[in-house]
Structure 1
Amino acid sequence: MGRLLLFVTGASKGIGLEVAVAALEKDYRVIATSRNAVTLRDQVLARVPEAGADFLALEMTFTEDSIKMAVKQALDQFGRIDVLVNNAGYGIFGALEEFSLEEVRKNFDVNVFGLLALTQAVLPGMREQKSGHIINLASISGSVTGPVQGIYSATKASVIMMSEALQAEVEPFGIQVTAVNPTGIRTDFLDASSMRRPEKEIKDYEVVQATMSGLARLNHNQGGDSTYLAQAILELAAMKKAPNRLYAGSGALAAMQYKITEVVQEINDFRELSQSVDRKD
């Protein structure tokens, strides 16, 4: 089969950039996308100058035509895509009442519908070659949520559920699917350049103000490391039997363990009510 080809989105900074660099250092061929291909190419080659023809930077937005063109360019140049890392996305934080539907749709357009459209564009080639691995960057927020995270959590929960269903659908073709759910990673995700707030602000929500202050303190103090996460993603890519979900980081594991305990307790507390809807005949 030769050297593997990795396609990673949102690669101009943060996790995506670290994945592209780490993959090239591990002798992958790499296609990386962002809204500015020239800047992206310069960033990657500054760190891996020997990449040469093994690296292709593409401009891609999350329109259907742009996605199809990027996949076509990838296949024309390299002939196949072995690993797709759906990394592009952003967070929007605020009380549910504050959001306009337009703001919500834009977040879903990138975090969910863009991811889905690219996955659909890549799957025919993977089915034909009877191999491939789709790695979707979700978040611990897709499983454990709280104030201000409602919309972002909804997008990442969608990614987790789509990944789980897709795994069952494509397993007969030798394709694997993994949803990676990181803890807080020390990138600029919480900077004003990346994180977005709704235009409308409702002062009554004191919990929003308190939570946003907490996020500001957390910014650049998160417990996860993007270079380590990139290495973990490449380790997943090399596995013959990868997990469908990976909760990455001690914070993510602790949050999930707490959530599982909470859900089990609530199930037990209301078991009789739950079972009351069963037919009696």
Structure 2
Amino acid sequence: MDLCYTAGQSVLVTGGSRGIGAATVRAFAAEGVGRIHVAARDSESVARLSREVKGTEVVGHVLDLSRSGDRGQLSSVLDEVDILVNNAGAIPQGALEAADLAAWRRAWDLKVWGYLELTQLALAAMTERGTGVVVNVVGVSGERPDVGYLAGSMANSALMTLTRTVGAYSLDHGVRVVGVNPGPVETSRLTDALRTRAATEFGDSGRWADYVRSYPAQRIATAEEVADTVVFLASARSGYTSGCIVTLDGGMAWRGRAL
């Protein structure tokens, strides 16, 4: 299927240097998008991705998006991009009883406030032009909260509300706001989360792979599968989707847990 992307289009992917973000950059490049802005904290990963992607201009922005001042540095980029993919975020595992609330606040500064402020900036510019797409990569715990991942469940629930409420009206101005809720995805972040959970539940972090046997198809989703969904939702082929969220977890949330 031709997704109707052109070399004249531009995209901003936050958290774009690795995992789902890097896979999303590669997927947009494969579809012929001409310019892709990548915002991330790791300058070496951004530079490596820029060298790897061929045929598309990759522009790196080394920023800490948990800081409002750094987010503001993307305002000129958001004035011109056709698509914003909010993907930057890393939220710690854990229940409330032993929570490091300062760490939770830092994580929300990056994911909740980061998505919120960048969406606000993008929406203003896109509404003025009468066209644009915002894709929020959220997480399945937002629809299936987990007491052992309370900070992430709360953040993702908030971002689902942001996506649905803003996207319900944005299309009146030519702008679509949509979301993707990945379940477990094959990244180092997931492995670390499962190790933490295994240490808590089994007293042995090395048993993290035991969980995968209960996942749909006994496997973890790939970053490329999430990226393909993002790229389709952002495309003209998905032109009447707004205010909605696609769950990409093989049905896992309805088995009772988000991880």
Paired residue total: 241
Counterpart pick for 2:42 among 36, 41, 64: 36
- CA gap of 1:189–1:120, structure 2 versus 1, over 3 A, is same
Q: Distance in 2 between matches of 1:175 and 1:254?
A: 31
Residue 44 of structure 1: how far off its partner (Å): 3.5
Counting only pairs closer than 5 Å after superposition, residues 142-181 of structure 1 correspond to structure 2 as 142-181=142-181
1:11: which partner in 2?
Answer: 16
How much identity, in percent, do the aligned residues show? 23
Structure 2: gaps of 5 or more residues: 1-5, 213-217
2:58: which partner in 1?
Answer: 55
Residue 26 of structure 1: how far off its partner (Å): 1.1
**Contact in 2 for aligned 1:60/1:70 (Cα 8 Å):** no
1:64: which partner in 2?
Answer: 68
**Contact in 2 for aligned 1:6/1:82 (Cα 8 Å):** yes
With structure 2 as the length reference, what TM-score do the two structures score?
A: 0.82
Larger Rg: 1
Counting only pairs closer than 5 Å after superposition, residues 103-122 of structure 1 correspond to structure 2 as 103-122=103-122
Moved segments of 4+, more than 6 Å: 194-197
Q: Distance in 2 between matches of 1:121 and 1:154?
A: 23
Q: Distance in 2 between matches of 1:258 and 1:190?
A: 18
Q: Are 2:201 and 1:209 equivalent residues in the alignment? A: yes
- CA gap of 1:125–1:137, structure 2 versus 1, over 3 A, is same
**Contact in 2 for aligned 1:8/1:31 (Cα 8 Å):** yes
With structure 1 as the length reference, what TM-score do the two structures score?
A: 0.76
**Contact in 2 for aligned 1:91/1:189 (Cα 8 Å):** no
Q: Distance in 1 between matches of 2:99 and 2:171?
A: 38
Q: Distance in 2 between matches of 1:68 and 1:44?
A: 23
1:275: which partner in 2?
Answer: none
Q: Map Cα deviations across residues 247-279 of structure 1 (whole Å, 9 max, x no partner).
A: 1131xx3424869xxxxxxxxxxxxxxxxxxxx
Structure 1: gaps of 5 or more residues: 198-205, 260-281
Q: Map Cα deviations across residues 46-78 of structure 1 (whole Å, 9 max, x no partner).
A: 2x2333xx2211112122221121232x26xxx
1:45: which partner in 2?
Answer: 51
**Contact in 2 for aligned 1:21/1:44 (Cα 8 Å):** no
Q: Distance in 2 between matches of 1:212 and 1:80?
A: 49
Q: Are 2:224 and 1:227 equivalent residues in the alignment? A: yes
- Equivalent AA in structure 1 for residue 130 of structure 2: K
- Equivalent AA in structure 1 for residue 71 of structure 2: I
Q: Distance in 2 between matches of 1:144 and 1:82?
A: 31
Counterpart pick for 1:255 among 242, 253, 256: 253
Q: Distance in 2 between matches of 1:124 and 1:177?
A: 13
- CA gap of 1:82–1:195, structure 2 versus 1, over 3 A, is farther
Q: Distance in 2 between matches of 1:179 and 1:247?
A: 9
- Equivalent AA in structure 2 for residue 232 of structure 1: T
Q: Judge which range, 124-133 or 60-69, deviates more.
A: 60-69
Q: Distance in 1 between matches of 2:131 and 2:205?
A: 45
2:3: which partner in 1?
Answer: none
- Equivalent AA in structure 1 for residue 73 of structure 2: M
Residue 210 of structure 1: how far off its partner (Å): 4.0
**Coordinate RMSD, CA, aligned:** 2.9
Q: Distance in 2 between matches of 1:13 and 1:131?
A: 28
- Equivalent AA in structure 1 for residue 22 of structure 2: L
Q: Distance in 2 between matches of 1:130 and 1:229?
A: 27
Q: Distance in 2 between matches of 1:160 and 1:248?
A: 14
**Contact in 1 for aligned 2:199/2:205 (Cα 8 Å):** no
- CA gap of 1:80–1:195, structure 2 versus 1, over 3 A, is farther
- CA gap of 1:152–1:214, structure 2 versus 1, over 3 A, is farther
- Equivalent AA in structure 1 for residue 117 of structure 2: A
Residue 118 of structure 1: how far off its partner (Å): 1.2
1:277: which partner in 2?
Answer: none
Residue 208 of structure 1: how far off its partner (Å): 4.0
